[in-house]
Each structure stands twice: as C-alpha cells, then as structure tokens.
Structure 1
Amino acid sequence: MSHPWFEGATRPRVLAHRGLVLPGDAAAGVVENSFAAVAAAHSAGAVYVESDCHLTADGTVVLFHDDDLSRVTGDPRKIADVTVRELESLMAPRGGLITLAQALESFPTLRFNLDVKAADAAAPVGRIVRTHADRVLVTSFSDERRRAALAAADAGDTGIRPATSAGRGTLVRVLAALALRSDRRLSRALSGIDALQVPERNGRVRVVTPRLIAAAQRNGVEVHVWTVNEADDIRRLLAMGVDGIVTDRVDLALSIVCE
C-alpha cells in the first residue's frame, strides 16, 4: 500500500521548490523558504511544498537551504551559529522566517517534502514530524541523515513513519543495478524507498531515462525530477512518464498539468 503522502492527490505531482516567489514578490524583498513563499505556493494551489531543514544555535529547526546566511540575507554567519530570534529579525523584511513546526501547524493541508541539510537537524526533524508523518516525506543527499530522521520519527502518534526518498548512495546503487540489468539488486536498492527525487542530468550523465522511470515504477517507486522551470521541459518530462516535477514555478507547472 502506498504512503498517505501520495494518496488522494493529483498525479503527476507538482512540488513547489522552496515555496513560490513571483517576480513582484522578489522585487519587494521576499525570498525562498520564507513564510510568505510557502503561503504563496499554498495560494497558487500547491499540494506539495519542497523545503530544507537546518538547526539554529538554540535548537530550532528552520526552513532554510544554505548552511549560511550570506546568499539570502548578506550575513556571513552559519545557521548553526545564530539563534532563532536573530534569524527572525533577519528574515522579517524578506517574507518572514518559518520554522518547521510553524510550517506544519500553519498549513495543515500542505504535504511537505523535507530535505535534511545538516546532521544535527536529523533527529529534531524526526521528532517534530512524528505527529504529521502522513503528510511528510523525508529526504537528504545523505542516506545517513535521512535514516536518522526516520528513526527519530519512530512511527509517531499516527502509527506510520514519514515517506522517504533515496539519498545519493541509494541512487548510485539503483543506477548500478540498472547498468548490470539486475532486477534483484534493483529491488534490494529500492527497498524502503518511496521516491527517487533526482535531477534530469548530473553533469554530462543523464539520470532520468525511460528505463529508470519504468524500473522504479515496477518497484512501486515514483520518480520526481528537480528543478524544472521551463514549460517545454515540464511537458517533455511529463510525456516521458515522470511522476512528479519539482519547480520554482508551481503556478506554471500546475497550469500545464491541468491542460
């Protein structure tokens, strides 16, 4: 049986990458992964929001992609070196800080795709999402961080763990199994995995192929491609049969899906 994160929602899935920041909002100072960006994605009709998790100096899980503040706020400090109050002040003119707990509580109809960016954040993320596991998918480039978050979730009050997407090591094993044409290795690599969330290419190597899509789907695993913002690319990937698109333009992608 599929995880509730996947159930009752339109396919192909459209995941709002770090929320939604339209040009007018960006001109007003709104940034990705802010409260305003998540709210804008929700208003645009998004069911799924992809975001990232870091831990502040005082132990609060916040939605933030980079491990430092320089690109988003101009402050060179690391997320791990600032308190949540300091971060709230920095983000106030940029759409507002949103913590993981606030995201889950303020947007009860949204389903979250959470990328654990820091090792210290893994267990706190798991503990926070345990009572929301039916609408959370946990992922990370690091399979170790991903598994640590799932272990901390520990089935929670809902009786289930969050859904999960493969880390880099798992993806390497999947691609190796495909190259070897070994269904047994592929099945073993995909055990416990609900989705492969991957770029279309990694440098010169094409990751997303009809063969990968078919093999994953045979094993009950969805393929979601990131980060796809051009209409022609969205249509082409959907025609290939991918299950989901991760995009900065959730408004555009939703309109294409509804064509």
Structure 2
Amino acid sequence: MLPADSLPYFAPAGPRVLAHRGLAGPDAPENTLAAFARAVEAGAAYLETDAQCTRDGYAVLFHDASLRRATGDPRPIAELDLSEVQRIDLGGDRVPTFAEALAAFPDARFNLDIKAMPAAAPAAAAILEADAVDRVLVTSFDEGRRSAIASALGSAAGSAQVVSSASAAMLLRALPAAAFRLTGSLARSLAEVQAIQVPERFRGVRIVSRRLVDQLHSLGVEVHVWTVNDPQDMARLLALGVDGLVTDRCDLALAVVASR
C-alpha cells in the first residue's frame, strides 16, 4: 500500500476536519444534502457519511439500519426500494443516494462508512468513475465490508488507488502491537490501509497518544479521532499530532485549526 501522503485524497497535508454526517441543524437533518451543504459552506473539505443499501441495490446515505430513530418507522432500509426510501420525509429533506452527494459536492471528499453488509459494495462501486475514487475513503468496523467495498472499487477504478481505514479486526491486532513496539507486526496489521479512525479513549483505556501517532506516521498511516466536539479537546489532540478530527461541529473545528 502507498503511504497516505502520496495519495490525492490526503492532499494537501492535514490536519483535516471531517464533518460527521455533515453539519446538522434544525433545517438540515444528519446525512442529508442540506447538512452536507452547511458543512461545505462552513469550509469543510471532508464529509463523513454512512452507506446503507436499498433492496433494489442503491447506496444511500443513512446511518441506521432502520428508519426508527429518524422517523419512527421501524422498516429496515434493506427491505425498501429507493423510491420508497426517498418518499420518506426527514423534516423537509430526504435520504440521498451516494451518487447524488458526489454530484452535488464535486469538490468535497467523502469518508464513507459502510454500514450495510458487503452487498452494498457493488452498489457503491457502480456509481464511481475512476476519477471519483480519489475522493473517497472507505471505512467500516467490519473487515468483510471494508475489504468487499475496497475490492469492488478497485475493480471499478482499474489502476486507481483505493483508500481505506482500519477495521475493528485490524485495530485489535495493531493496537497491542503498537503498545509493545512490535513494529513489524504493526506494519503487517495495517498493510492494506492508509488511516486508522478511533476514539481517544475506549472503555476508559487511552488509545490515542503521541507515541501511537508517531509510530503510525512512521508507517505512512494517518490517525483520525472521533467524535470530537469540544474545542479544547480538538486543540489538545492536534497538539499530539493527529491528522484528522471527525466532528459534529466542523465549524468549531475549522476555527481551531485556523487558529494554530
């Protein structure tokens, strides 16, 4: 795998602000074109979002497997056709497809979290031309999903480099290797990715440290931390050398980055 700093997705050098589900507000529900537009208007170059797959094979941008939390409707996205999904009112907006988001924001880069099973892989790949692959970082906690979408995008893009971040299985190997300074094991664990995306702490255990950041940078791997909404936390993490902040408040994060 090529190091992150050699790939178009990561140019120019960070730190990067990844707008988590856009910049949601009263008139802009999360993961809608309106929320993405607010983030872009605030200055965000990176949009973090989630992909589900409809019954008829469309990649749509929606976090949950079902509509219950957002609308009270218990039906799963996977059991609905695109036309049914897009008739659902999300408070004045609707669920967009990945293709619509790519077209609506041609200068934005997307952090695409694959929430559906690997069946979503060809759905996402089908709407990506080779030049759009440079605008997408593929991520999933599930290694099957991550590898499936990366493989599908790679086939669709030909020789273009598919960028992805570490799955949970990769992190379970990589983080102990980093703690014990097993450089070879760490490199092998992350050989297929250019980034890790982690919380600063997990169940009270610190994950992100200056040492971890330095170790991963030596391998050409970026460190993105989620979900960081407090400006003091943002500044502290940037001081540790992290490359990206995944945040619900991209407006605040961009101000912190600009003040450095």
TM-score (norm 1): 0.93
Which residue of 53, 67, 77 corresponds with 1:55? 53
Counterpart residue type for residue 13 of structure 1: R
Mean CA deviation greater in 34-43 or 90-99? 90-99
Equivalence map 1:46-85=2 (5 Å): 46-85=44-83
Over the residues paired in the alignment, what is the CA RMSD in angstroms? 1.5
> Within 1, Cα distance between the matches of 2:22 and 2:128?
19
Q: Which amino acid aligns with 2:180?
A: L
Query: Are the structure 2 counterparts of residues 158 and 36 from structure 1 closer, same or farther at C-alpha, using a change threshold of 3 Å?
Result: farther
User: C-alpha displacement at 1:180, in angstroms?
Assistant: 2.8
Q: Does 1:144 align with 2:144?
A: yes
Residues 76-97 of structure 1 show CA distances to partners (whole Å, capped at 9, x for unaligned) of 1111112222221213534332
SS of the equivalent of 1:173 reads helix
Counterpart of 2:56 in 1: which secondary structure?
A: coil
Specify the code of the residue in structure 2 equivalent to 1:16: A
Aligned to 1:122: 121
Give the AA of the match of 1:67. A
The DSSP-based 3-state class of the residue aligned with 2:101 is: helix
Partner residue in 1 for 2:14: 11
Q: When the two structures are superposed, what TM-score results if normalisation uses the length of structure 2?
A: 0.92
- 2:37 paired residue number: 39
Q: How many angstroms does 1:192 deviate by?
A: 2.1
Unaligned runs of 5+ in 1: none
Distance in 1 (CA, whole Å) between partners of 2:234 and 2:134 is 27
Tell me, in whole angstroms, the C-alpha distance in 2 between the residues paired with 1:92 and 1:84. Answer: 15
Tell me the alpha carbon deviations over residues 90-131 of structure 1, each in whole angstroms, 9 at most, x when there is no partner: 135343321001111111100000011111212322333353
| 2:244 maps to amino acid | G
Q: 1:135 to 1:124 in 2, by over 3 A?
A: same
| Alignment equivalent of 2:23, drawn from 12, 20, 37 | 20
Letter in 2 for 1:95: D
Alignment of 1:104-183 (within 5 A): 104-119=102-117, 120-131=119-130, 132-157=132-157, 159-183=159-183
- Quote the residue 2:244 is aligned against: 244
Instruction: Using the aligned pairs only, state the percent identity.
Output: 47
Q: After alignment, is 80-89 or 220-229 more displaced?
A: 80-89
SS of residue in 2 equivalent to 1:213: helix
Matched to 2:190, the amino acid is: L
Give the whole-Å Cα distance in 2 for the aligned partners of 1:181 and 1:258: 34
Secondary structure, in 3 states, of the residue corresponding to 2:245?
strand
Alignment correspondent of 2:94: 96
Unaligned stretches of 5+ residues in structure 2:
none
User: How many angstroms apart in 2 are the aligned matches of 1:94 and 1:226?
Assistant: 28
Change (3 A) 1:156 1:59: closer
Equivalent AA in structure 1 for residue 207 of structure 2: V
Q: Quick one: which amino acid aligns to residue 242 of structure 1? A: V
Deviation at 1:31, TM superposition (A): 1.2
3-state DSSP of counterpart to 1:159: coil
Q: How many residues align?
A: 253
